Amino acid sequence: MKLHMNLGEHSYDIILERGCLAKLNEYADLSHKAMIISDDNVPQKYIDTIAAQCREHVVHIVTHGEQAKSMASFQEICADLLEHQFSRKDLIIAVGGGVVGDLAGFAAASYMRGIGFIQVPTTTLSQIDSSIGGKVAINFNGVKNVIGAFYQPTLVLADPETLNTLTTRHYINGLVEALKAGLIYDKTLLELFETGDIENHIDEIIAKALMVKKAVVEQDEKEQGLRKILNFGHTIGHAIEADNHLHDLYHGECVALGMPYFIGDTLLKERTRSICQKLGLPMKVETNHKAWIDLMKNDKKADHDTIDTVWVNEAGLAEIKQMSLKEIAALLEASK
């Protein structure tokens, strides 16, 4: 399947197809120098498949995990690009999950004020969500994604075959972003989670989730309004994630824990919880409301003492509501 992201001069294609990893050169001009950025947990065979199609390439590997989205990794990439004399005509290819995509994308956005950037997402989370939409960032001083840019890739190449080597926990983790997409925009996607066998329907789930993200980002590339609905579950999810020294939960798992707080309809809340249970997601976390509220103050989405929260009261329909931190604190207490 080929989707076209319509963003004027920032438009690009998204290829979602089994086996497409070996066909990158059919979709992209690989005649310039390419830096393949990946991490040390991504199977080497994917990097080799991409490298074999490039005329000239350099491979840059970071240590896996969220800590790779750091200023230090960013500097090392820039040093490597300079050392290998990369010019504005050359490109960066991110092969891996959201960590690699966010880091490599930020380097691509910054180096020489922007060089070519291709996303080859290899996790469910990155195929469903992070590789499209153009948000790229690193973490700084303990604040997630605080230094970043809107920088659209020139191509996204998602091969669902690569998901076969993912751990079950990472596989499920990424599906939460699809569940979110269903809740905020596409009730048929939500129903698919309820009725279908997940693994047999994975291509359809990714495709439907991509279509939601495409539709939303096309209407509001820079998050002035509508795009905020993609943050559903993330207000509390990000706080849980930042408070992670206590548990060590993944991004999607934190979002799954954060979503029910903002579902107004009791039945829909129950349906969502049942899906999370079916997926084997963590259903409970040690609550630390005061710390979460403090962390929300640091979140980029907080404007002084208020936050634009996203509510879903009917399947497939999201609403943005401005809430004070005090109101959110009360909501947390009430859901104890």
Ligand X SMILES: NC(=O)c1ccc[n+]([C@@H]2O[C@H](COP(=O)([O-])OP(=O)(O)OC[C@H]3O[C@@H](n4cnc5c(N)ncnc54)[C@H](O)[C@@H]3O)[C@@H](O)[C@H]2O)c1
Which residues in this chain contact ligand X in the complex, by CB under 6 A?
A: 39, 41-43, 64, 66, 69, 96-100, 102, 122-123, 125-126, 129-130, 133, 135, 145, 162, 165-166, 170, 173-174, 251
Nearer to ligand X, 238 or 269 (CB): 238
Nearer to ligand X, 123 or 271 (CB): 123
Nearer to ligand X, 259 or 271 (CB): 259
Nearer to ligand X, 69 or 228 (CB): 69
Nearest approach, Cβ of residue 77 and ligand X (Å): 15
Nearest approach, Cβ of residue 43 and ligand X (Å): 5
Secondary structure percentages of the chain, helix, strand, coil, to 5: 50, 20, 25
d(CA 57, CA 61): 13
- Strand order, beta sheet including 33-39: 2-5, 12-16, 155-158, 116-121, 91-96, 33-39, 56-62
Length of the chain: 336
d(CA 70, CA 103): 8
Nearest approach, Cβ of residue 135 and ligand X (Å): 4
d(CA 235, CA 296): 7
- As to burial, measured by CB atoms within 10 angstroms (0-12 exposed, 13-18 middle, 19+ buried), residue 203 is middle
Nearest approach, Cβ of residue 208 and ligand X (Å): 17
Q: How many CB atoms lie within 10 A of CB 106?
A: 24
Q: How many CB atoms lie within 10 A of CB 108?
A: 29
Closest CA to 259 of 279, 226, 295, 231: 231
Nearest approach, Cβ of residue 272 and ligand X (Å): 19
Nearer to ligand X, 122 or 309 (CB): 122
Nearest approach, Cβ of residue 314 and ligand X (Å): 24
CB-based contact 309:321 (threshold 8 Å): yes
Nearest approach, Cβ of residue 327 and ligand X (Å): 26
Nearer to ligand X, 144 or 269 (CB): 144
Closest-by-Cβ residue to ligand X is 98
Nearer to ligand X, 7 or 329 (CB): 7
What are the start-end ranges of the E strands in the chain? 2-5, 12-16, 33-39, 56-62, 91-96, 116-121, 135-140, 143-150, 155-158, 302-303, 306-314, 317-324
